[in-house]
Homo-oligomer: A and B are copies of this chain.
Amino acid sequence: MSQGITIALDAMGGDRAPTMVLRGAEIALERHPEARFLLFGNEAQIAPLLAKLPRLQRAATVRHTEERVLDDAKPSQALRSGRHTSMRLAIDAVAEGHADGVVSAGNTGALMAIAKFVLKTLPGIDRPAIAAFFPTRRGESVMLDLGANIECDAENLVQFALMGDVFARTVLGLTQPTVGLLNVGSEDLKGNDAVRGAGSRLRGGNTPINFHGFIEGDDIAAGTVDVIVTDGFTGNIALKTVEGVAKLFTESLRASFRYSVLARIGYLFARGALKKLAARIDPRGYNGAMFLGLAGIAVKSHGSTDAFGFANAVGVAIDLKVNGFMEKIRDELARLNQVPQNPQPQRSAAL
């Protein structure tokens, strides 16, 4: 168990858990045969499912618990009274060094609260943020925060920019990702105090970040920057707005092809190309939001996803481990934190 990569799974989190979680782990295992899993949940439910997934059975260890975090549990309540839940035990496994990361499709607020309490935040980070990537005209971009922090100041946004930069380099493999601040216009004076303050600090150049400047809502899908930084209120609404529009388009397109006999025939011809498009915009392909800023890898899967989507969330956790995300972000933060601690005069930093 000590070799390779071990991921702790909250087997009881998600609308179709534990079946979806186990089938998802099986798919992830096909892609990452080196992975091992710790499955936290009800053994009576898990064992018969595992029996039908022999590959996963060989790569997994079940840690039994009867308790789980309910979908409507308040974060504070899940934190106080949920010490034996599958979610808590899976996070504990990371803190105790038994696993390299945790993936859960359960209650988002509870997962963030417990992960923050158990794993702690990294030095130099005040608040963790939720980050995810999604398709754009140019490829893929990362956006954060997606809802962990409803109100943010300039310092929070600068920290998000830094974490997003390391995340994009690690998961998207970019050497110098561009970072943009989501705003209502591109001019320096636009926006609220937090955005203007963060913009001025990032333009100041005291960070290793390749700062593009302010971007607007239409830049998200255009892929104008690799990393989109915003507060959790705006980010959550922007992300869900994208999801809603994508769903409406897919439905409308489907309805169009059912509209007439001619359209149905047209679909038969164009099917191959349309399936390629559908695969590219399939939200399951982008499932797996990372809790950035914690001293451990914690990935949140959509609660309503299926095995294919869950496998992608597991893949995010594995990629973060394989690519040394934790080491890179610790290095970056240590480097940044040296600046104010530096006894030399400020101007020497510009040399």
Contacts and interface: CB of A to CB of B under 8 A. Distances in A.
Interface stretch (A78-86, A94-102, A273-281): A273-281
A218 B234 contact: no
A237 interface: yes
A244 interface: yes
A220 B234 contact: no
A239 B267 contact: no
Interface string A246-286: 11110111001101101101111111111011001100000
A240 interface: yes
A186 to B, nearest CB: 11
A218 B240 contact: yes
A339 interface: no
A273 to B, nearest CB: 4
B270 A191 contact: no
A241 interface: yes
B240 A222 contact: no
Nearest to A261: B269
Contacts of A57: none
B273 A257 contact: yes
A260 B251 CA distance: 23
A16 interface: no
A198 interface: no
Given A234-B237, A241-B245, A262-B270, 20 more contacts: A150-B191, A150-B192, A182-B237, A184-B232, A192-B233, A217-B240, A220-B241, A221-B244, A221-B248, A245-B249, A249-B249, A253-B277, A256-B276, A257-B270, A259-B272, A259-B276, A262-B269, A263-B269, A263-B272, A266-B270
